Amino acid sequence: MVAAGKALTYAELAERAAATQLPPLHATTTPAGIEFAVELHAAALAESVIAPLRPQQPGTEPVRCARLTGLVPPPGTLAVVFTSGSTGEPRPVPLTRRNFEASARASAEVLGVHADDRWLCCMPVFHVGGLSIFTRSALYETTVVAEPAFDAVRVKDLMEAGEVTLVSLVPTMLARLRDAGLERAPRVRAVLLGGGPIPDELFAWARAAGLPVRPTYGMTETTSQIATARAGEWLARPLPGAEVRIADDGEILVRGPMVAADGWLRTGDRGTLTEDGLLDVHGRMDDVIVTGGENVAAQEVEEVLLEHPYVAEAAVVGVDDAEWGKAVAAFVVAAVSEDEIAVHARARLPGFKVPKLIVALDELPRTPSGKVERAQLESRARDLRQGR
């Protein structure tokens, strides 16, 4: 791997990992880099369990640490990874060696493996999207280019200089690369883009810039990706060995050797499958706002708001309402007034889908993995409605 201007070979990694002693359950706040790779492989050699945590977590999030302390991982567990916590308290998910190996093999079948591959890890390793780059690259015997945090200018420079061939990003990161002036990525053969809805205009920009963006669906419980689109396509295809079906209520169900569950896993996401088996994700099941007996999909309203040329970001949540049960509330990052956004929404949406509350923010609150913290927005909407 390459990190902080230093390189580490697999022979050196094996030697350092063998000399590192770890407890049976090893919690670490080490960021992506050489030291984290040593800890991860030391855990694998010793059959310990590694639990990557946020750097601030031990002192400021005692509830999460208590959940980790009280967890009994099943046999074969390699890592305990917390969910993003975008809609509530993060949950610990034990992932086994079998999960990681199955995920790596399936990913390799879809992306291919080149001897000179260099996978950029600019996502936190306490997020499964960052951690899986380390495990896949080790099983592929290819190189990780690790960054301790996402810096748009730094990542742009690495991509434009031809230093990496594979990149994993969330839509917010790609938008920041665009804003930083990314113009080319001569050696990048795949950009896995997941972790949230992809705005149409962002996808269109990426294609126009020649970026081989491949929308990807996955979660902590599926050891990262479980469905990935072909280059230039919008809808994702289930990975080899992964099964996807849609429940009667529209929820996406998945199963396979990379899934940390027996049988079908209820993902909590809504979606549909095309006749060709392509997956179209419509948002979270709990993102459906029932207002006055009508169902409103938060993602649909967000997409309409993002059609306004001066709205950069949008997040829609439900807030308690005495008359309607729930009311639609929208938070935006925009260079235009809330009133003008409301006019835009009324011209394109039925009345019951138009946000009753529109709030402009400098930025949307996000988890370290880039997902919007909807629970925080719901709390803020509730306070605003109550005049607090």
Contact predicate 293/251, CB 8 Å: no
Q: What is the pLDDT of residues 193-228, one digit of tens each?
A: 998 888 888 999 999 999 999 999 999 999 999 999
Q: Which of 24-38, 50-64, 312-326, 362-376 has the lowest mean pLDDT?
A: 50-64
CA distance 207 to 215: 12
Instruction: Look up residue 288 and give its two tokens.
Output: 């459906």
pLDDT at position 87 is 54
Give start and end residues of each alpha helix (H) in 88-127: 97-111
Q: What is the dihedral of CA 325, 329, 221, 128, to 10 degrees?
A: -160
Would you say 106 and 241 are in contact if contact means Cβ atoms under 8 Å apart?
Answer: yes
Average pLDDT over the chain reads: 91
Mean pLDDT: which of 130-144, 199-213, 278-292 is highest? Answer: 130-144
Residues 6+ positions from 336 with CB-CB distance below 8 Å: 308, 310, 311
CA distance 317 to 326: 9
Q: Are 269 and 255 in contact (CB under 8 A)?
A: no
What pLDDT does residue 286 have? 78
Query: What pLDDT, on the 0 to 100 scale, is given for residue 60?
Result: 46
Kindly list the structural domains of the chain, giving each domain's residue range(s) and its CATH number in brackets, ordered by start.
Answer: 2-283 (3.40.50.12780), 292-385 (3.30.300.30)
Q: Are strands 49-52 and 92-96 parallel, antiparallel or unpaired?
A: unpaired
pLDDT the model gives residue 90: 77
| pLDDT for res 59 | 47
48: left (phi over 0), alpha (psi -120 to 50) or beta: beta
- pLDDT for 322: 82
Tell whether the model's pLDDT for residue 61 goes beyond 60.
Answer: no
Q: What is the CA radius of gyration of the chain?
A: 21
At 63 the pLDDT is: 55
Residue 335: the pLDDT is 93
Q: pLDDT-based confidence at 73, cuts 50/70/90? A: confident
Is residue 245 pLDDT above 60, yes or no?
yes
Give residue for tokens 């729930």: 326
pLDDT at 85: 63
Mean pLDDT for 75-81 is 94
